[in-house]
Amino acid sequence: MVSIKNEKDIECLRKAGKIVVDALNLVRDNIRPGVDTLTLDMKAEKLIADSGARPAFKGYTVPGVPKPFPGTLCISINDEVVHGIPSEDRVLEEGDIVSIDVGVRIDGFYGDAAYTFPVGRISPEREALLKVTRECLERAISVAREGATLGDVGHAVESWAAPRGYGIVRNYAGHGIGRNLHEAPQIPNFGVPGRGITLKKGMSLAIEPMIMTGKEEVRTLKDRWTVVTADGSDAAHFEKTIVITGNDPEVITPWE
């Protein structure tokens, strides 16, 4: 069952979404060569606490994984796709690309968004990967309208990335969001137009293309959280939470 949010619920989502965007902006301001990822995590955690919210990922458990996720942010560098663990031993270097994923909970509702930032000057190849992944997200959002289907949304991502030679992460997907961080439906980054459930007004969705330069295969590191590309190629990840309306979707986490 996909939950439908009323105006009061959407107001709560907006409140959570604003804190998510504030946290992303704060991290953006602190990204530079030489900074370690735990420092970024602690800055975001403080902002979230000062806003009256709590981090959504910290303490998150997955059946079969012994250790809860320890960070406020998922920080994934270069070949890391998602769920990288912040650490004082991970220091950003000039030329890296770093995905920052933020989730918060406030007043019983969640917000979730991600952005892949360049660290200093990056290669043209990495520049192109970021651009295409971001375009995938914007295209997916542009088709996420009342009456469209999840297949339309996935197809918008796949049909933009694949012809340009990029791989799509197929094992991980976007998701519904609201009173739970992850709700139905799953939102794959591939699909057949017209297939899948039909989008209805009041659905709130976290759409998050994960795109890589290499082969479409990922694996999980020994820490049991960090997902990396199997061939060591680069990956990028952009995410926004939206609400389906009678018109253009409302972007709940409007980072730019």
| Sign of the dihedral defined by the CA atoms of residues 32, 36, 37, 42, in that order | negative
Chain residues binding Mg ion by CB under 5 A are: 112, 206
In sequence order, the 6+-apart residues with CB closer than 8 A to the CB of 208 are 114, 137, 173, 174, 187, 189, 237, 238, 239, 240
For β-strands 210-212 and 183-187, DSSP reports them as unpaired
* Shortest distance in whole angstroms from residue 251 CB to Mg ion: 14
- The position carrying tokens 């997200």 is 137
Of 34 and 108, nearer to Mg ion (C-beta) is 108
Shortest reach from residue 226's CB to Mg ion, in Å: 16
23 or 206: whose CB is closer to Mg ion? 206
Which secondary structure element, helix H or strand E, spans residue 117, and what is its range?
Answer: strand 109-118
Nearer to Mg ion, 213 or 241 (CB): 241
> Of 88, 91, 118, 249, nearest to 174 (Cα)?
249
Q: Which CB atom, from 122 or from 183, has the smaller least distance to Mg ion?
A: 183
At 44, which helix (H) or strand (E)?
helix 37-50
Alpha carbons within 13 A on the beta-carbon side of 84: 31
Which tokens hold the place of 143? 């088709």
We find the least distance from the C-beta atom of residue 33 to Mg ion, in angstroms, to be 27
- HSE-CB for 216 with a 13 A CA cutoff: 15
The smaller minimum CB distance to Mg ion, of residues 112 and 234, is found at 112
Residue 87 Cβ vs Mg ion, minimum distance, rounded to whole Å: 21
* Smallest gap from residue 208 Cβ to Mg ion (A): 5
Contacts of 138 (CB under 8 A, 6+ apart): none
Least distance (Å) between residue 137 CB and Mg ion: 12
**Least separation, in Å, of the C-beta of 94 and Mg ion?**
28
Locate tokens 């995938």: which residue?
A: 136
User: Between residues 10 and 122, which has the closer beta carbon with respect to Mg ion?
Assistant: 10
Of 2 and 122, the one with the shorter C-beta distance to Mg ion is 2
